[in-house]
Structure 1
């Protein structure tokens, strides 16, 4: 028997025992305290949070914060009266270059890192949440999951073409090791939690 054959034979004879898939039920977590953890995580990454009961409050708060002269875009019908321009699939991407405020509905939030999951269904145009100066996301309070494990379980049940987790405003610290907010995306992110 050649050296090669003896090595291959030894490898075949010394295989590890087959093991079943790991039990992922250990990742099941309580949702208790998720809202306060979400708020703390979002604040830690530079985002802001506001608690509202309906879209009327959001309309009032956005008008008060950004005024009448901001270019506001949202695909949400509930907030159409805030929009300064029509926005749909036919909107040319280059017309988004001067958007001041983009308002998007998030599917859910993640408590452990303050992230909001938004898909192409909510954003209409993939560039919108990244090209705007100020990003506003709206989520329902009961749609805050404790961990990323829980979020991936939710994501696996839905169909989407593109999705992203967004946590706070754009940040980078690679320029002279100094934190810069808004260098590559929104300068601010506010999450309105409804409920």
Structure 2
């Protein structure tokens, strides 16, 4: 018997097939934290920006002004101007998308991440291939922590989902930060109060 097999057999004997129960984490009181302010603060810290809007019309006006040079804007958010896409479209046609506008299910204050699943993306490639990304988040959908986020999605059934937080960024060994190296150059989150 090889050493590898001996080690694996020893581990099998030591650990049962039934995984140990995970410890119950004590929830911390978050009642005094303003979730919207926390989300905005964290998003700024990771290179994104927030825009508070009262209506979809305000979002359309902001996009018209700030992305006036955009050649192709794709919107998968009701009421927000942009070209829609169909599920059968070839992802190779997304190479020229300057801005993608999506509406995630919810956002997380502690890390400014937003949870979005396949049915709200149009195609999995879109949030990662577009030059810029914009999200429309209703403020009452922001949760405190990733623990709260995982509690919301733990029993859901979806083919694909991801957390998106800020624009793409990378740093070399000299700590030179580059935004948009392998994904969107910017991320704008429109915050709407209901």
SS at match of 1:189: strand
Deviation (angstroms), 1:88: 1.7
The residue that corresponds to 1:64 in the other structure is: 65
Deviation (angstroms), 1:28: 4.9
TM-score when normalising by structure 1: 0.83
The residue that corresponds to 1:78 in the other structure is: 79
Deviation (angstroms), 1:86: 3.8
2:99 corresponds to 1:98: no
Instruction: Please list every run of at least 4 consecutive aligned residues from structure 1 whose deviation after the TM superposition is greater than 2 angstroms.
Output: 19-24, 27-32, 174-177
- Output the CA distance in 2 between the equivalents of 1:157 and 1:29: 24
Flag the 1:176–1:194 CA change in 2: closer, same or farther, 3 A: same
Deviations for 1:136-162, whole angstroms, at most 9, x for unmatched residues? 011110111111000000111432111
Q: How does 1:122-141 map to 2 (within 5 A)?
A: 122-141=120-139
The residue that corresponds to 1:192 in the other structure is: 190
CA contact (8 A) 1:73 1:103 kept: yes
Deviations for 1:55-114, whole angstroms, at most 9, x for unmatched residues? 1111111111101653100122322xx22x441202210110010000000111111111
CA contact (8 A) 1:171 1:184 kept: yes
CA contact (8 A) 1:99 1:133 kept: yes
Name stretches of at least 5 consecutive residues in structure 2 with no aligned partner. 1-9, 15-19
Flag the 1:76–1:20 CA change in 2: closer, same or farther, 3 A: closer
Flag the 1:123–1:20 CA change in 2: closer, same or farther, 3 A: closer
Q: Name the structure with the higher helix share.
A: 1
Flag the 1:64–1:70 CA change in 2: closer, same or farther, 3 A: same
CA RMSD of aligned residues (A): 2.2
- Output the CA distance in 2 between the equivalents of 1:175 and 1:95: 34
Flag the 1:177–1:20 CA change in 2: closer, same or farther, 3 A: closer
2:115 corresponds to 1:117: yes
Name stretches of at least 5 consecutive residues in structure 1 with no aligned partner. 1-7, 13-18
Q: How does 1:3-82 map to 2 (within 5 A)?
A: 22-24=23-25, 26-31=26-31, 32-67=33-68, 69-79=70-80, 82=81
Higher Cα radius of gyration:
1
Flag the 1:151–1:69 CA change in 2: closer, same or farther, 3 A: closer
- Output the CA distance in 1 between the equivalents of 2:97 and 2:173: 25
The number of residues matched between the two structures is 176
Deviations for 1:109-143, whole angstroms, at most 9, x for unmatched residues? 11111111111111010000000001001111011
